[in-house]
Amino acid sequence: MGNLFDNIEKRGISVGFDFLNQESGFGIAQTLVEYDETSTHSKVFLVGILNTILVSVLGIITASIIGLFIGIGRLSSNWIISKLSMIYVELFRNIPILLQILFWYNVVLASLSSPRQSLVFFESVFLNNRGLYIPKPLLQDGFIFVAISFVLALVAIFYLSKWAKKRHDETGVKFPIWTVSFGIIVFSTTIVYFLSGSPIELEYSSLQGFNFVGGYNLLPELLALWFALSIYTATYIAEAVRAGIEAINKGQSEASLSLGLSKGLMLKKVILPQAIRIIIPPIINQYANLIKNSSLATAIGYPELVTVFSGTSLNQVGQAIEIILMTMAVYLILNIIVSMIMNYINAKMKIKER
């Protein structure tokens, strides 16, 4: 401890959390809240956390979708699909995530052309070496009606499904709840949307000079990180899905087939309800890993917590202990939130025993 204070004194580092109120003096390429060079380091902290959460949420969504398909694909009766799924898992799981991030960033995205020769999709989405440009929805006055009708539709579906379940339990008559719910949502929302005068306008990106203005710009750093995290984490999710389904005893599927259930009904009513209990804990574990892995963004400079706060802010104020402890605390808290969600789901999913 004596050494610690000696060293701190010798290097002229100040102690305490006063630095949080100092002006940061540097800009950040992507901020979800208002931020400029005159903002404080505490604002940098917030911007970093939000950017971490942004890429984590994006990654969790896509990794789950890819992982689910690949995991089911591995169990497919189709030979080529199951082999391709296996190759996907074995290929991407055994290459370090940092290498994948750097590959996407330095090789794939860096090889894209300049804004003037962008790749164009649907005449509104542009991809070039400065990132992906997508239209930005601008909400007009009447949008509140659309929102209200959407919420009303959800409420209606909630009660409808309750009624349908009750009737099914009592009389055994089925009700096509999915089709009807989908119809209600699409139909009512579309009608109200046009009645209230199409209250969403799209702001398109357009080329002005050497760069695009307007719309949303997804930075190449964000894209590289997002792709790499999704592809890498999806391999683990796929394995969890496969292991969960395989863990269900073969007798279960034979029993349901001998009851005359169709393959679809067997999956829906017998296999998945049992498998989901086994699948969810490891998947949520992977979500936590994905959040932690998002810190590797610092290698390509995506402005998340470790890059802007443990990187740039630390270089400016030099208070390593405080800053790194704060960063660690954020990840610990995010981790605790994720495991609380898991405990909640586990409790809900538990087989109700008497």
Interface residues with another protein (CB under 8 A) are 1, 3-4, 6-8, 10, 76-81, 84, 90-91, 93-99, 102-103, 106-107, 292-293, 295-296, 298-299, 306, 310, 314, 320-321, 324, 327-328, 331-332, 335-336
Coil vs helix vs strand at 27: coil
Q: Which is nearer to another protein, 81 or 152 (CB)?
A: 81
Q: Which is nearer to another protein, 42 or 339 (CB)?
A: 339
Q: What are phi and psi of 124, to 5 degrees?
A: -135, -15
Closest approach, Cβ 341 to another protein, in A, equals 15
The C-alpha atoms of residue 73 and residue 176 are separated, in whole angstroms, by 27
Tallying the residues shown for the chain, one arrives at 354
Spell out the alpha helix ranges (H) of the chain.
2-10, 41-74, 79-93, 97-102, 143-171, 177-195, 220-247, 250-258, 263-266, 272-293, 305-307, 314-317, 320-349
Strands 136-139 and 131-134, sheet pairing: unpaired
Strands 216-218 and 131-134, sheet pairing: antiparallel
The C-alpha atoms of residue 206 and residue 134 are separated, in whole angstroms, by 10
